[in-house]
C-alpha cells in the first residue's frame, strides 16, 4: 500500500486492511448492517472466487473505505511463485484503486452514502448497478498496469455473464408468461443485465488502462460481439461513456453524470425483451417473448411500458 501511495494513488480515504477467511461475511460485519439486510451486489459468477472487496464504513461523522482480503490472497504475497505474487499484487492494487475512486465519489456526493439513493423516476436497482459499473471500470483502469495478464480473466467473465444474462432474461420472461409475478421478473432481469454490465466495466477498464480501445480488443469478446452487432454497438457506447466519466472525474456536478450508463443498461434490457417506466409510485413493465430486433420495435416496447399494467413498487 505504501508503494501504491508513492506512485500517486490517493489513499487518504483508506480505513484499513483486514485479512479474513470469508471476505464477504467480514465486510458485512465491518459495515454493521442490520440483521436481515443484504447489500445489493453481483450474483456469484461461475468459475470465479471472490478474493477481496472494499466497503464503505461509518467512522463517526464520515465514511471511509476498508479493504478485506481473503486469507489465501494474503499468503500469495509471500509466495515464492512469481505468478502468485503478481495475482496478489494486482488484486491489492485493484482494491486500493477502489479506495481512491470511492473516496473521490464520497467527497463529491456525500449524500449517497448511508442514505437511500434518490433516483427520481429511475429504477433504484438499475441506477445502483450503473454506479457499480463505473466503480469497477475506474478501479480496473487505474490498476491495469499491475497485472496486465488479468485481461484473459476479464474477457472470459464478460462473455460468460453476457451469455447467461440473455438466457436468464428469457427464462424469467417465460416464467412471467406462465403465470409468474411481474415483480420477480422485473427484479431478476435488472440483476442479470446489471451484472453483465459490471463485467463489461471490468473488461473495458482493464483495456483502457492498457491503452487499448474497446471490448473488441479482447479475443473472446471480439468473437461474441461480432455475432451480436446490436450488443456490440451498445458496448462501444458504454466504453465512450465510461471514458468520458474518467476524464471528467474531478469536474462532476451531480449524480446525473451516471445517467448515460443507466440509459444504456435500460436499452440492453429493452433489446432483450423488457422495458419499464415509472407511473407515480408504481412501475409499468412490458415484456416480449423474443429479443427485439430493430430500433423501431425497441421504441414500441418502451412506449408500451408507459401504458402497461402496474407493478407494485419495491
Closest CA to 71 of 93, 55, 86, 49: 49
Q: Give me Rg for the CA atoms of the chain.
A: 20
pLDDT of residue 302: 57
Domain residue ranges in the chain: 1-115, 121-314
- Coil, helix or strand at residue 216: helix
Among the listed ranges 45-59, 198-212, 238-252, which one has the minimum average pLDDT value? 45-59
How far is residue 110's CA from residue 255's CA, in Å, rounded to a whole number? 11
Residue whose C-alpha cell reads 402496474 in the numeric block: 310
55 pLDDT above the threshold of 90? yes
Give mean pLDDT, residues 263-281.
89
C-alpha cell read off for 164:
447467461
State the pTM of this model.
0.90
Query: Is 194 in contact with 265 (CB distance < 8 Å)?
Result: yes
Give mean pLDDT, residues 106-132.
91
Q: What is the pLDDT of residues 281-309, one digit of tens each?
A: 788 888 876 655 555 555 655 565 555 54
pLDDT of residue 314: 30
Query: Is 205 in contact with 241 (CB distance < 8 Å)?
Result: no
Amino acid at each position: 500500500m505504501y508503494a501504491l501511495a508513492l506512485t500517486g494513488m490517493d489513499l487518504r480515504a483508506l480505513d484499513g486492511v483486514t485479512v479474513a477467511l470469508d471476505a464477504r461475511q467480514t465486510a458485512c460485519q465491518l459495515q454493521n448492517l442490520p440483521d436481515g439486510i443484504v447489500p445489493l451486489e453481483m450474483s456469484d459468477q461461475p468459475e470465479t472466487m471472490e478474493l477481496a472487496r472494499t466497503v464503505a464504513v461509518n467512522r463517526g461523522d464520515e465514511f471511509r473505505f476498508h479493504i478485506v482480503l481473503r486469507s489465501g490472497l494474503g499468503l500469495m504475497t509471500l509466495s515464492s511463485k512469481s505468478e502468485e505474487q503478481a495475482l496478489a499484487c494486482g488484486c491489492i492494487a485493484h482494491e486500493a484503486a477502489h479506495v481512491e475512486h470511492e473516496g473521490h465519489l464520497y467527497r463529491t456526493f456525500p449524500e449517497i452514502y448511508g442514505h437511500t439513493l434518490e433516483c427520481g423516476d429511475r429504477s433504484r436497482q438499475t441506477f445502483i448497478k450503473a454506479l457499480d459499473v463505473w466503480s469497477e471500470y475506474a478501479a480496473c483502469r487505474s490498476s491495469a498496469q499491475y497485472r496486465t495478464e488479468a485481461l484473459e480473466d476479464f474477457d472470459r467473465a464478460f462473455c460468460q455473464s453476457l451469455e447467461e444474462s440473455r438466457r436468464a432474461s428469457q427464462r424469467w420472461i417465460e416464467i412471467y408468461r406462465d403465470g409468474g409475478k411481474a415483480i420477480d421478473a422485473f427484479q431478476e432481469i435488472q440483476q442479470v443485465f446489471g451484472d453483465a454490465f459490471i463485467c463489461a466495466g471490468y473488461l473495458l477498464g482493464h483495456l483502457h488502462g492498457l491503452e487499448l480501445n474497446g471490448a473488441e480488443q479482447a479475443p473472446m469478446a471480439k468473437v461474441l460481439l461480432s455475432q451480436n452487432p446490436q450488443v456490440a454497438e451498445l458496448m462501444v457506447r458504454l466504453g465512450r461513456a465510461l471514458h468520458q466519466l474518467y476524464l471528467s472525474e474531478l469536474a462532476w456536478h451531480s449524480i446525473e453524470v451516471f445517467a448515460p450508463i443507466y440509459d444504456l443498461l435500460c436499452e440492453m434490457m429493452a433489446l432483450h425483451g423488457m422495458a419499464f417506466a415509472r407511473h407515480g409510485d408504481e412501475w409499468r413493465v412490458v415484456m416480449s417473448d423474443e429479443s427485439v430486433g430493430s430500433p423501431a420495435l425497441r421504441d414500441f416496447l418502451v412506449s408500451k411500458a408507459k401504458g402497461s399494467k402496474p407493478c407494485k413498487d419495491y
